[in-house]
Homo-oligomer: A and B are copies of this chain.
């Protein structure tokens, strides 16, 4: 198998150059020593027009070749990942986030094939109209150009982001976490080795220092959008310092309001699912607000259930009183604004839907909120009144996800209002262009 590397940890340079035979490798090393961040950004910029001009079939073929290349070189990826695991010495969930297995690589490969099968978001006519002066105006979708994606230690993000970038005709510059440096280099070396991919389409930045992040977010004119994926510290840093437009993702202080007309079984099912099914993700629930009229009955019931499921419950004074005998902690002001990302949840008793709306609009991160109610009018008031990306009536917050929404993939969940809001994938990685057809019109 040409270019295949045995399942040992290869030297960095070798990982990067895998896919070339030895003579090519030496030649390339001479002609192209490790490029600087600036050079990589320029290479991506130069590749953007070529990516924009690829046909749907060409893009799909590239994605399918990438899937095949990852499959055939799984051992090489696992070796690089092993090196990361050894060097980083992480434990528990952090190690798990970094870990690649054959099964996980299979899922990544399947993800590439799924994206190949999705419709092409580029070249669509969004609107078309004629003006009284005879001008014909057509608004069509075009690639954004160059995406800059900054993320942490999950190496699957590397492939997911590349797949969405290529399908949407964009070049991509990746800056992953330093713990995953070997894994990412291996993945990118394999992805860039496929036939038909324009030179410069994928560039991986150095992850050993913050310098590459700084340079990336300052690169106006070279990069068209920055997408930070990761913890709130990373996102805050990028949003407040970037000179390139940003799609802010992620933080989710999500709420569930249990109205007095709620079906208690349904409310309990939704709360337990939203809190415990995967507590470390942004669409997990962090707060429960309970209508005062049902608080006496519902509060001890849900608190007991949550505690049985291993959840640490914090409660306002009234909820604490109603949970007497159960081990709840008092909630402080800080709790209402916090995204726990673990098996912890805070409960507050509210006077009704209006207070629930006011509380949520004040404290939430504008991600996903739920009302559980059998009262349609109140549900509508909640849906309209809440200023968040996704507002649910009788369903779990956990559905705020590109795949669950039916997009077939996800680049992130936008919590800002500009460009896109909520789960986003291919369509949101495009911009538009006006093509105007005239016959010599002047003003």
Known: A225-B417, A398-B442, A399-B441. A435 touches B135 (CB 8 A): no
Given A383-B435, A398-B442, A422-B433: 6 more A-B contacts, CB < 8 Å: A390-B434, A390-B436, A394-B438, A394-B439, A396-B443, A419-B419
Residues of B close to A384: CB separation below 8 A = 53
Residues of B close to A417: CB separation below 8 A = 144-145, 224-225, 245, 431
- Docked pose: A135 CA to B421 CA in angstroms: 19
Question: In chain A, residues 384-398, which have Cβ atoms closer than 8 Å to a Cβ of chain B?
Answer: 384-385, 387-396, 398
Cβ-defined contact, B389 with A434, below 8 A: yes
The winner among A247, A392, A442 for most chain B CB atoms within 10 A is A442
Known: A418-B225, A442-B270. A387 touches B245 (CB 8 A): no
- Docked pose: A416 CA to B223 CA in angstroms: 11
Nearest CB of chain B from residue A345's CB, rounded to whole Å: 16
- Docked pose: A271 CA to B433 CA in angstroms: 22
A interface size (C-beta, 8 A): 66
Residues of B close to A439: CB separation below 8 A = 394-395
The winner among A225, A239, A247, A419 for most chain B CB atoms within 10 A is A419
- Docked pose: A422 CA to B127 CA in angstroms: 14
Cβ-defined contact, B391 with A435, below 8 A: yes
Cβ-defined contact, B418 with A245, below 8 A: yes
Cβ-defined contact, B399 with A443, below 8 A: yes
A-B contact pairs, 14 of them (CB 8 A): A224-B417, A266-B440, A273-B443, A274-B442, A383-B435, A390-B434, A392-B437, A392-B438, A393-B436, A395-B437, A395-B438, A396-B441, A398-B443, A421-B434
- Interface secondary structure of A, over-half rule: mixed
Cβ-defined contact, B418 with A388, below 8 A: no
Nearest CB of chain B from residue A222's CB, rounded to whole Å: 13
Question: In chain A, residues 170-225, which have Cβ atoms closer than 8 Å to a Cβ of chain B?
Answer: 220, 224-225
What's the number of copies of this chain in the assembled complex? Answer: 2
Residues of B close to A438: CB separation below 8 A = 392-396, 399
State whether the Cβ of A246 lies closer than 8 Å to any Cβ in chain B. Answer: yes
Residues of B close to A224: CB separation below 8 A = 416-418
Cβ-defined contact, B388 with A433, below 8 A: yes
Q: Which 10 A-B pairs have the closest CB atoms?
A: A395-B438, A273-B442, A417-B431, A266-B440, A245-B418, A390-B434, A419-B419, A394-B438, A395-B441, A398-B443
State whether the Cβ of A404 lies closer than 8 Å to any Cβ in chain B. Answer: yes
State whether the Cβ of A269 lies closer than 8 Å to any Cβ in chain B. Answer: yes
Cβ-defined contact, A436 with B392, below 8 A: yes
- Docked pose: A420 CA to B439 CA in angstroms: 27
Known: A385-B49, A392-B438, A399-B443. A131 touches B404 (CB 8 A): yes
Cβ-defined contact, B240 with A220, below 8 A: yes
Residue in B129, B240, B422 whose beta carbon sits within 8 Å of that of A243 in the complex? B240
Cβ-defined contact, A442 with B388, below 8 A: no
